[in-house]
Amino acid sequence: MTKRAMLCLLLVMTFLSSNTYADAFEFLTYNPPTGWTKQAAQDGTMYRRSVGVGLVYFYPSYASTGSSSADEFSKMWRARVEPTLPGPAPQAKIQRDGDYSVAVGLKRVDTKGTVTTVALVTIVGRGRAIGVLSMAEGDDVLREVTSFLDTLSVNPEAAAAPQSAAGLEVDFDVPKGYTSQRDPAGPVVLKPTSMDRNTPCIYGVSPSRPSSGVLERDARASILEALPGWQLKSESYNASRGIAGAGWPYFWFRTDVQQMSGGTMQYLTAMSLAFPAAAGRVNILWGFGPTQHCTLDDVAFQRLFHSLRPRGWTSDGGKALSQELLGTWRNTEAVGMAQYIFRPTGIYEYGQGTSTTFSTRETRTGSVGDGSFTLRSSELTLTGRRAGRYFVRIYEEFSGGIWLKTMSVLNDSSTPMEVRYLRVKE
């Protein structure tokens, strides 16, 4: 089959179609190649031919406001094809259909008489770009790939649905003071509009991947994911593990990393948070920043954490977190103490006291108040003296070689502040 014939077949695809097809990926529908095996990939979905070299790879969509299909084709070719097939991107053929345009280009590689055809289809419309890459060795496989691509179409209704970081298995809200950037290679990167003490870290959310079955192992394995070429500085680390408001478990891992640059050792603090995706898969939220300012558990992280909504996860309505909340929690500072007691009746008690020493004289003051509380997912609402809305996170924190049960309380105001309390055994 000639290059011209291949392109002609690709360009007769009907994109805006109401036909029913056997499978779908995001807003694309199609009939998969007969007898090919469908596999979940780290970033997307693929089909493989059982015999010979045949591959079709669907890559997640991403925001492309104002970009043309030709521009997105070139960008995607550089990111997806050029690392394994060096050289400039081929000249793409462009076709429009309603709100969508498609760019198609291919390269043919002759290896000792065997021709392998690599083709990339990029579809752009309604603010999204999505790509389908195929590889076929020999004319028989090429005919199967071409027949498959001829069934590819856009489902306008699915495309019109809100897209949030497509290709991920989690939705979230961008924290205040941050902007969101989608890398065509996969992750969503959250960068502060200005690096200061309120926003000292960079965060990111990566596409889900197969899980090892142990969240701690998944978190540790991904700690350098966003920092290729860096290494762990030492075996020292901080960690926490817990249950989110919706009932899903997580493991958080943080350590210092290093890299030699220009004869000088550079240092950063890095962290990774592992939590469930679909069955057998895991989501990763990562972050890094300067060691002297970025703790990776700041207010921005707290807000991002409380906004995480793993797709496919059925919330338990906060039942697990509600049970964890009951009991006594205490915050002890140099000159004072604050304490909450949450009771099964829905009543809480709050106590606060200070101790001041002047010369040999010590003065103590204190106050106690109570009210009712409700917990919906991780949102805690209090009446009475401490009336207000808060966001609660309860976890075990690794400190000094032991695990300490900790409660983080974030107030919901224009000047948010997080206060931590330790569990008091009664």
Q: Where do the domains of the chain lie?
A: 3-160, 170-310, 319-424
Reported as a pLDDT band with limits 50, 70 and 90, residue 360 is very low
What integer pLDDT is reported at residue 65 of this predicted model? 56
Q: Secondary structure of the chain: what % helix, strand, coil (to 5)?
A: 15, 50, 35
Q: By mean pLDDT, which of 151-160, 200-209, 220-229, 392-401 is the weakest?
A: 151-160
Tell me the CATH class for 3-160. Answer: alpha beta
Please report the DSSP string for 248-293 in residue order. -EEEEEEEEEEEEETTEEEEEEEEEEEEE-STTEEEEEEEEE-TTT
Structural contact between residues 58 and 50, judged by C-beta atoms closer than 8 angstroms: no
Please report the DSSP string for 26-79 in residue order. TTEEE-PPTTPEEEEETTEEEEE-SSSSEEEEEEEEEE-TT--HHHHHHHHHHH
For helices 3-10 and 139-149, give the axis angle rounded to 10 degrees: 20
What integer pLDDT is reported at residue 134 of this predicted model? 92
What does the pLDDT average to over 190-206? Answer: 87
Chain segment 257-271, per-residue pLDDT in tens: 999 888 899 999 999
What integer pLDDT is reported at residue 167 of this predicted model? 64
- pTM over the 0.75 mark: no
Tell me the CATH class for 319-424. Answer: mainly beta
Fold adopted by 170-310:
Protein Transport Mog1p; Chain A (3.40.1000)
Chain segment 367-403, per-residue pLDDT in tens: 567 899 999 989 999 999 889 999 999 999 997 789 9
What integer pLDDT is reported at residue 302 of this predicted model? 92
**Is 170-310 in the same CATH topology as 3-160?**
yes
Helices (H), 312-399: 319-325
